[in-house]
Structure 1
């Protein structure tokens, strides 16, 4: 029988081809669970025992539930993750024509395994800004779009034309990564005629003419999905997406094969844990703190943006929540020192074909539970105190836990953990579920670890305030 948590994850993944869609799906689930949406542009009037959410740029989302016994200055218990994954994003000018083919100009986002994007059936998803007419005046709307049909492909060069390709597959990211959209001949034959001339002609009414920057065929496909005319598209943020669905697979149905497991798997598990730990009337009855999930954009490129973990999003949330219950600003530093962050980002499972890439005493395995990440040089924010709390919760619930340290002769990656720990001053532990093929267009993880992660995060939300009261360090 399939694990219901893993089945739910697959549904979340298939609904979330981009960070925008992931936030939209998270918001949909939170609203069903009774979370009220706030606007950062407005004043907040919060109440103990209530549940709230807000988004920034529609690519970062923060949700929190306030304990009925919360008072200003108490701690906030957070699981943080990220909504973005390495991908190919469409350039501001995508119109590329070469060798009788229409291609789409893309730029690499993050540190992807770009060779895995060749010979995949690709679609497009993201958001568009659309011009509209309402009550006789011009206005604009923000819409998410998703073309699910495969419309593009990045073809490899035949081995007959590159005999050394199996020794080393080398490609130029500028020249060789452009997806083929159509042949020029077919595109010309299928071009619709505008009422007053060709669709390629410039606009005479002063409006932005996107046909000069993009193939009209591409705009027609996007407009059809957005429910507008091509010339009503003012701008967009779109990316190429693999059309293959996420699935539970393997001979024993023990794996999940999917894109974007890094880091939508952790985003989902933390989101579901928050929702389920605050679902009943009594869930927050004895809670003295605040339970929060923060899913950030732009982790894969350093988090330095208005909606990344390097922005004031976290501090703004902590401050505004505290200030909603007291005007005493001295309580904010107290609240920060009483708070705790679980930075949840997928971890590297031991690869059976490359076992020498792992330190021999730190080899996380699939099905082995969440991995606590350590790095003496602070590439991860874990220390003995923060890891103790996380292990103690695992031990109480008989949940497996593993440890990871990168080899001394290899560089170590990082997460939002050190960014938030240093930027906000919050106690932090770095963890993640083990996976293979990280940053490939198609990754894999274990079904059991999805369940372990969800249960671990849920127990954290339910019990951390009581556990925290039992250990004092700075006295």
Structure 2
């Protein structure tokens, strides 16, 4: 009921985040939205740069966990700039270990590994489930990586009752290896094994057999979800997620209570803005830069992967659009990148307020890539849509986080870091403003519509 009375953009976002418990699902759902708006999927292995068409809409993915989409303006020629909105789709979470089978005190347990800098105590006593991708055998003997999302709670990390530790509230600390292990069920449930179940434990299992590494009960859940036999499962990457849906909240539905808003909020807004922009009448007539969105993986652990911001994704796109050295240099000089990542709604002298507009993030040590030129351009773009801009800078006595912005600025791209203010960042349940989804969409839409023209009006060199 609360969901029905909130901002429309926020409701679309909550639908997206509820359907996207992992980066794989986020990229999949973003692809569906783009294809519905007329985008054509191309493959990195193909020679698509020689078949690009004016007003064309294209996208490609890498490793099911990152996505780049771009549009070609009328009269486009190599050497044109690229206007990029860059985000990330990963969030701190728990991931099933390659050997997850554990037991203790009569309980089946699942070994997990922490990913990123999560507020781990927020994962205790939550209704958890599994989502990710699984490599399975096809009927024709080939193999496929399939997405899975178990839509019911099957895991839980219980806290110790206060009766057994009266001092637990005085200093709440726990060992992430020994005291942070989800329970899957009771061992007694698995005592009556059939010969069919027992055969997977034989020592002559193949190298691609994972049956000996995980509880048969866990593999059975995965197999049932995918309608395959357990022995047809060859490998997987499974993430734990909270089954409680994302919702609107607050007295006037001014908040969103949800996991993964850092940074699915910016990722959704980029996809939504791009999809809406190409459906507008102006799209067929706008000259200027190639418009682009880039959704990266692994930002929470440094972006150093084939699908992260330090990979070849953006350099490869720029090179394929403008292959000669001279044209490539011209394209980089004409390009601009908005690094969009959520920010903090608390700091003594620079305290952004939720629902009051986009936040420009600045750091003199260049943990954020913003400078006066980039900030000015963003403010003018926001101004075109009648919005507001807030400033954020971290205290001198605190460490500053980072984003994909500084990594991508190494290419030579002019870059600015922006975001939306939020509370409880990296908790299993974060809080953000329900109107800030539209604020982000408005900025990105203004960027796609008017950056090239605005850029021409600014003299710097």
Q: Name the counterpart of 1:359.
A: 348
State the Cα deviation string for residues 20-57 of structure 1 (Å, max 9, x = none).
00000000000010000010011112112100000001
Bigger mean CA offset, 389-398 vs 337-346 = 389-398
C-alpha distance in structure 1 between counterparts of 2:234 and 2:34, whole Å: 31
Following the alignment from structure 1 to structure 2, what is the Cα–Cα distance between the partners of residues 209 and 289? Answer: 49
Is residue 390 from structure 1 mapped to residue 392 from structure 2 by the alignment?
Answer: no
Q: Give the superposition deviation at 1:322.
A: 2.4
State the distance in 1 between where 2:223 and 2:199 align: 13
2:310 and 2:21 mapped to 1: Cα distance? Answer: 24
Q: CA deviation at 1:208?
A: 3.0
Q: Could you tell me whether the CA contact under 8 Å between 1:310 and 1:419 is conserved in 2?
A: yes
Asked if the contact 2:108/2:186 (under 8 Å) is kept, the reply is yes
Quote how far apart the aligned CAs of 1:472 are.
2.8
Q: 1:208 to 1:74 in 2, by over 3 A?
A: closer
Alignment of 1:250-265 (within 5 A): 250-265=250-265
1:129 aligned partner? 135
* 1:446 equivalenced with 2:449 (yes/no): no
CA RMSD of aligned residues (A): 1.4
For structure 1, the residue ranges without an aligned partner over 5 or more in a row are 351-357
Instruction: Identify the residue that residue 336 of structure 1 maps to in structure 2.
Output: 332
The partner residue of 2:447 within 460, 464, 468 is 460
Displacement after TM superposition at 1:289 (Å):
1.2
Cα deviation for residue 71 of structure 1 reads: 1.5
CA deviations on 1:118-151 (whole Å, 9 max, x unpaired) are 00000000001112341xxx31111000111100
Q: Give 1:396 deviation, angstroms.
A: 2.7
Match for residue 29 of structure 2 among 25, 28, 37: 25
Report the counterpart of residue 427 of structure 1 in structure 2. Answer: 414
2:75 aligned with 1:69: yes
SS at match of 1:198: helix
Q: Is the CA contact (8 Å cut-off) linking 1:348 and 1:435 kept in structure 2?
A: yes
TM-score, normalised on structure 1?
Answer: 0.93
Q: Are the aligned partners of 1:147 and 1:225 in contact in 2 as well (CA < 8 Å)?
A: yes
Contact 1:88 1:108 in 2 (8 A): yes
Q: Secondary structure at the match of 1:380?
A: coil
- The answer on whether the counterparts of 1:370 and 1:432 sit within 8 Å (CA) in structure 2 is yes
After superposition, what is the alpha-carbon deviation per residue over 1:169-192, rounded to whole angstroms, capped at 9, x for unaligned? 100000111100011112324x4x
| Separation (CA, whole Å) in 2 of partners of 1:464 and 1:97 | 58
Distance 1:166 1:110 in 2: 25
**Residue 1 of structure 2 is aligned to residue 5 of structure 1:** no
Aligned length: 455
Are residues 365 and 282 of structure 1, via their aligned partners in 2, closer, same or farther at CA, if it must alter by over 3 Å? closer
Aligned to 2:275: 275
CA distance in 1, matches of 2:293, 2:208: 39
SS at match of 1:330: helix
Residue deviations 1:365-399 (CA, integer Å, cap 9, x gap): 11111110000000000000011000111223220
State the alpha-carbon separation in 2 of the partners of residues 40 and 281 from structure 1.
30
Say if 2:9 and 2:438, in contact at 8 Å, map to a contact too. yes
Task: Report SS of the residue matched to 1:367.
Answer: coil
* Secondary structure class of the residue paired with 1:150: coil
Contact 1:46–1:321 (CA under 8 A) maintained in structure 2: no
Contact 2:384 2:446 in 1 (8 A): no
CA distance in 2 between partners of 1:451 and 1:397 (Å): 11
Asked if the contact 2:345–2:423 (Cα under 8 Å) also holds between the matched residues in 1, the reply is: yes
Match of 2:366 among 378, 400, 404: 378
* Maintained 8 Å contact 1:203/1:209: no
1:353 match: none
Equivalent residues in 2 for 1:43-442, closer than 5 Å: 43-44=47-48, 45-134=51-140, 138-189=141-192, 191=193, 193-195=194-196, 198-202=198-202, 204=204, 206=206, 208-280=208-280, 282-323=282-323, 328-350=324-346, 358-360=347-349, 362-422=350-410, 424-442=411-429
Tell me, in whole angstroms, the C-alpha distance in 1 between the residues paired with 2:336 and 2:325.
Answer: 20
SS at match of 1:237: strand
Mapped to 2, the partners of 1:435 and 1:253 lie a distance apart of 15
Alpha-carbon separation, structure 2, partners of 1:194 and 1:344: 54
Shift, 1:81, TM fit: 0.3
Structure 2 unaligned regions, length at least 5: none
CA 1:343–1:321: 2 relative to 1, 3 Å: same
Is the partner of 2:152 in helix, strand or coil? strand
Moved over 4 A (4+): none
Determine the C-alpha separation between the residues in 1 that align with 2:161 and 2:53.
64
3-state DSSP class of the match of 2:45?
A: coil
Q: Distance in 2 between matches of 1:112 and 1:130?
A: 31
